[in-house]
Amino acid sequence: MSDPRDGSRNQVEQALERYLTEQQMTRRELIERIGALGALVALAPIVAACATGAASVAPSVVAPTATPARTTAAASAAPTATPVPTPVPSPESELIVYNWLDYIGEDVIPSFQEKYPVKVKYELFDDIEVAYAKLGKDGSGYDVSFPTSVDIPRFSAAGTIIPLDKSLLPNIANLGAEWKNPGYDPDNTHSVPYVWWTTGVGYDTKKVTDSPTSSKALWDPRYKNHISMLDDYQEAFGLALIQLGYSANTTDTTQMDAALALLKQQKPLLRTYSSDTVGTMVSGDVWIGQIWGSDLYQINQENENISFFIPEEGGVRGSDTAVIYSGAKHPIAAHLFLNHLLDAKVSASNTNTIGYMGPNEAAKPFIDPAILADPAVNPDKAILAKLEELLDLPNAVDQEYLTRWQALKAGG
């Protein structure tokens, strides 16, 4: 096997060549696979319809799959049948995906494995930072993963992820207009958006009865010992900075100091800094806390009394992306997987399972209407426009935040 870590940009062509010249004995397999793939391509619309229709979580999705009039459905159901400049190379036999447990729709991988003769290995991490620490220069053997958008600039600069071959990603047309050229990755050269979220405040309507609208409610001494903030310095400082009227991505250290002072005032009232917001709010220990909007979906499944608002001062939004690592041994399968994720129905299935909105405009008809209507998961455009996108900060600035964060946590 040639060394995939030479950082070459023509991963796909190389991989294809490598694949074809590798072992004489697999030529027969290759032909068989192409044949199988061809058959699958012909059957793909039916297979995809059956797969997503049968396994789909939201019953309202079943009806649309049978309607041939939906152009987006037809296009997404047979991605390899749409005209592409080069014939689609056959994928490798395996794909290694690195992700949180359950951070993917229940039927996304089964439907992918039905469509293509690829065995997907789903490897797990619990902490995106731990995952990053393991990845090294080229992803350490993982093919696909889902880093946060703020990390894309440095990953692409370091050559850890490869530029994507758009010819293998026709479903990218499904993206909403605001996602076609995001700030963290112009033109989506190195990544495709996966899901996005907002950060706001969740509160128990039974304990916090006055329907707050400002993030200052998190400083309300009435809720002492029942307030929480996210265990994430960008989020915590972001909230404080925005409350003070500054940008969440500020590089100004005086502004950071002001935010730190504000957070220090809050600390004696806090129950905990925790990113396990579902746990703390469902258990009732926390009555009001900083939470990610999409967590509300899961919280409400256990406790319907929890409501959510985006502070009137403003808030932040972020997103996760899907990328292919430069050391990936199965780049073709990886591209097909990414394309699969961009499929309207697959994207909808994701959203319906994990409760995060995807960037996929074409997916909207297939998403559970309850989720679409939920202002926490899917705020309307007016509110979205007010939100600041979390950015990748230069190392020196990062350290300024982290030092203050640790001083905040350490201080008595």
Q: Give rounded-to-5 percent helix, strand, coil for the chain.
A: 50, 15, 35
Retrieve residue 379's tokens. 């705020």
CB-side exposure of 297: number of CA atoms within 13 Å? 22
Write the CA distances from 133 to 59, 137, 312, integer angstroms.
41, 10, 37
Phi first, then psi: what are they for 407, rounded to 5°? -65, -40
Phi first, then psi: what are they for 90, rounded to 5°? -75, 145
Of these, 19, 116, 184, 273, which contacts another protein (CB under 8 A)? 273
Nearest approach, Cβ of 43 to another protein (angstroms)?
A: 27
How far, in Å, CA of 239 to CA of 269, rounded? 16
Please, which residue, 72 or 294, has the CB nearer to another protein? 294
Question: Which residues, 6 or more positions from 287, have their beta carbon under 8 angstroms from its beta carbon?
Answer: 203, 204, 207, 208, 223, 226, 227
Window 181-210: residues binding another protein (CB under 8 A): none
Window 62-101: residues binding another protein (CB under 8 A): 96, 100-101
Please, which residue, 103 or 219, has the CB nearer to another protein? 103
Of these, 169, 354, 363, 376, which contacts another protein (CB under 8 A)? 354
Question: Which residues, 6 or more positions from 21, have their beta carbon under 8 angstroms from its beta carbon?
Answer: none
Window 224-263: residues binding another protein (CB under 8 A): 225, 229, 232-233
Please, which residue, 31 or 370, has the CB nearer to another protein? 370
Nearest approach, Cβ of 77 to another protein (angstroms)?
A: 28
Nearest approach, Cβ of 103 to another protein (angstroms)?
A: 6
Nearest approach, Cβ of 144 to another protein (angstroms)?
A: 13
How far, in Å, CA of 200 to CA of 198, rounded? 6
Residues in binding contact with another protein, number by CB under 8 A: 58
Is residue 329 within 8 Å of 141, Cβ to Cβ? yes
Is 1 a residue that touches another protein (CB under 8 A)?
Answer: no
Q: Which residue has the tokens 């293998």?
A: 168
Is 127 a residue that touches another protein (CB under 8 A)?
Answer: yes
Of these, 15, 278, 310, 341, which contacts another protein (CB under 8 A)? 278
Contact flags string 15-54 toward another protein, x per CB under 8 A = ----------------------------------------
Retrieve residue 393's tokens. 């900060």
Query: Where along the sequence are the contacts to another protein (CB under 8 A)?
Result: 96, 100-103, 121-127, 129-130, 132-134, 136, 140-142, 154, 157-158, 225, 229, 232-233, 267, 270-273, 276, 278-279, 282-285, 298, 301-303, 354, 394-395, 398-399, 402-403, 405-407, 409-412
